[in-house]
Structure 1
């Protein structure tokens, strides 16, 4: 009888049953299962795509993989609930994955800004060794932050999750909350604002220089320049002008071939490009055919790299906004509802919304990044062939 009573007490201890959420709890279970499956598969595919696709193995994508690892950890532990020991492990790993995600988002935004504004600093800080140290430091900082709360992780029925409560190490937990969610996410937003500002200033400077160059050219010279495709390249159009330039100046075939081949490079090329578009245009002031063709080709390369960098930056911004959209409602209700007066179903809805963050990133990569989309397609085909062969 004593054992049965003990077992019953243990079950009750980890139950989030409430008459107000009888209907919603079935949806919550389905949502949790879907997030676990989709998030696990999607993040594994992201890691495999990085492993097998050489074009994706860039320094920047190392941070994307680290974010996928944090999301994968979140997905795999999502359904843990019962047992005191498992509850503490779950609470620690849950907050660890969230903290590593925030730190990685900061590193992603910071790396994009440093790449745009201070290329030399990027090469030093985000080298292979530097990236390894940064990733290790992110996991170490997360573990060191939430490890001291080990004895404070308990099951909270209203949240239906194992985590720290308001009364657990209250000052320390508040400091962590402010540091990670407000300071951390605030830094990410600041970096993206600085990136936008820098790109806008560079684009405006390039446009002003192009207009001044057009006004200074005589009419006849402008006509000849237009026939050779130089004016089109200065106007930032990189279509089929290079071929006509090669016919005009055969002495520079090797230069044009080497430069024009860079127009098809991906984000990995963007990391190795050290000149801004404005610098390339300024250095192409010579009027000899060979130098004009080389400068035109270089400008074409810079324009293509700039577009690729903008695409990648937009993808990173979407990942950050997705994180904010998923976590901020749950964070705000925990702050605003100090006296626990909000209905439990509202807590559970916001909690389920926070789950989505661990599975939406692979979707964003597939939608907004051509290389990830192609890598996912290859993995799907290989998996289909393996399943067909086994059948």
Structure 2
């Protein structure tokens, strides 16, 4: 096993060991698959956003930012890791090793910050969409500032560790030294991986609570299908699949204003619930562009409800699917990194077999290639955009194949 002094004096940059001679080929195959799938998938995500007007929303800017962080890793860093596993040696020298370590943690930190921003935006749409702070953060300039800030913050956080980025033989890659950077490295890991991911989980828990309360309130006062047919609502606004409406002053069609929560149980905000959740608003003047408003009478007479048409329920259902997709992305990120983090905490003396360290490190690779697969599986708009892009890419090859087949048949 290696101790901390060996890590600093490891001028040969070798991680060769009889215990990993056979395992390295698994690492090479896995790393190659991550490079190919991650690079193609994340580039498709960026191209889908750029080419499909339906995907060009403020919320999806955060999805694209996450894709850029994954492209940085899959395209630039993962092939280097594959080379190190193949030769069981770092072949880039000390300077590139430091650069590799910095870019590695920059990519991871931007991913975590972006996951926090995605969860926060989901929560703001549910709970505080009409507040001034939420409107500012969810505006075009606000989202652009958040994206730029994620990269600036990540770079500022891990740049001071430049002198202590070294080759770590137990995982056959470059990282910061386990003890030389303390206590700064301990604080960073706590802020990003514990506090940051903890806040993401908290935001989704709060979303879940509000949705459950709103769903129960709506089910209690849901009108009959006959009355809903009598009073169809007119759609006046447009809302993208992220739940952020096109107008800056409108609320999400499935969101209920805070005034409705506070009175008599005039009932709570509903975002998704049972896929037929309407929006409640105190007055139409407060949200002039809101579609499908549920009007609560101030008189003691029975509650008068104007129900939502199929278009609004479709928006609510789409918002629910997008939120579930984002939560799944978060769970996958946690699942990829938790084994590696727990192993490093439990095995401070590096007594665990090297192959265990390498396997847990390999699990973190998957995080950079799995997101496009989740988008394709859980978001119909991204799924269709991927198909369109792939068809356009295959068309020239199909034409060449058909022309050659025609020429051969003619001869």
TM-score bucket of the superposed structures, by smaller chain = 0.7 to 0.9
DSSP-derived class of the 2:322 partner: helix
TM-score in terms of structure 2 length: 0.77
Root mean square deviation, CA, Å: 2.5
Whole-Å separation in 1 of the counterparts to 2:12 and 2:207? 49
| 1:255-266 alignment, distance < 5 Å | 256=234, 258=235, 266=240
Unaligned runs of 5+ residues in structure 1 are 1-9, 215-225, 234-240, 287-291
Whole-Å separation in 2 of the counterparts to 1:153 and 1:52? 39
1:79 aligns with 2:79: yes
| 1:113-128 alignment, distance < 5 Å | 113-121=123-131, 122-128=134-140
> Deviation per CA, 1:282-316, whole angstroms, max 9, x where unpaired?
41769xxxxx9x933x4544432221111111000
| 1:158-169 alignment, distance < 5 Å | 158-169=170-181
Whole-Å separation in 1 of the counterparts to 2:333 and 2:379? 18
Is the contact made by 1:205 and 1:278 (CA closer than 8 Å) also made in structure 2? no
Is the contact made by 1:91 and 1:153 (CA closer than 8 Å) also made in structure 2? yes
Deviation at 1:388, TM superposition (A): 2.7
2:363 to 337, 343, 353: 353
> Deviation per CA, 1:162-198, whole angstroms, max 9, x where unpaired?
0012122110000001000000000000000000001
DSSP-derived class of the 1:170 partner: coil
Is the contact made by 1:35 and 1:358 (CA closer than 8 Å) also made in structure 2? yes
Larger radius of gyration: 1
> Deviation per CA, 1:37-62, whole angstroms, max 9, x where unpaired?
11000000000000000000011100
| 1:189-228 alignment, distance < 5 Å | 189-210=201-222
1:34 aligns with 2:8: no
> Deviation per CA, 1:63-107, whole angstroms, max 9, x where unpaired?
000000001101121232421111111000000000000000000
Whole-Å separation in 1 of the counterparts to 2:311 and 2:297? 17
Is the contact made by 1:21 and 1:344 (CA closer than 8 Å) also made in structure 2? yes
Is the contact made by 1:102 and 1:180 (CA closer than 8 Å) also made in structure 2? yes
DSSP-derived class of the 1:342 partner: coil
Whole-Å separation in 1 of the counterparts to 2:218 and 2:40? 44
Alignment match, 1:271: 245
List structure 1 runs of 4+ shifted beyond 3 angstroms.
268-273, 298-302
More helix by share: 1
Alignment match, 2:24: 25
Whole-Å separation in 2 of the counterparts to 1:181 and 1:21? 28
1:322 aligns with 2:296: no
Whole-Å separation in 2 of the counterparts to 1:137 and 1:32? 30
| 1:73-152 alignment, distance < 5 Å | 73-76=72-75, 77-80=77-80, 81=90, 82-121=92-131, 122-152=134-164
Whole-Å separation in 2 of the counterparts to 1:271 and 1:13? 57
Whole-Å separation in 2 of the counterparts to 1:362 and 1:72? 11
2:194 to 182, 189, 206: 182
Whole-Å separation in 2 of the counterparts to 1:39 and 1:321? 18
Is the contact made by 2:121 and 2:138 (CA closer than 8 Å) also made in structure 1? yes
Is the contact made by 2:125 and 2:244 (CA closer than 8 Å) also made in structure 1? no
TM-score in terms of structure 1 length: 0.80
| 1:307-386 alignment, distance < 5 Å | 307-386=317-396
Is the contact made by 2:125 and 2:243 (CA closer than 8 Å) also made in structure 1? no
Which stretch shifts more, 81-90 or 367-376? 81-90
Alignment match, 1:51: 50
Which stretch shifts more, 196-205 or 277-286? 277-286
Is the contact made by 2:242 and 2:319 (CA closer than 8 Å) also made in structure 1? no
DSSP-derived class of the 1:123 partner: helix
Closer/same/farther in 2, CA of residues 189 and 91 from structure 1, 3 Å limit: same
Whole-Å separation in 2 of the counterparts to 1:11 and 1:152? 13
Whole-Å separation in 2 of the counterparts to 1:364 and 1:146? 29
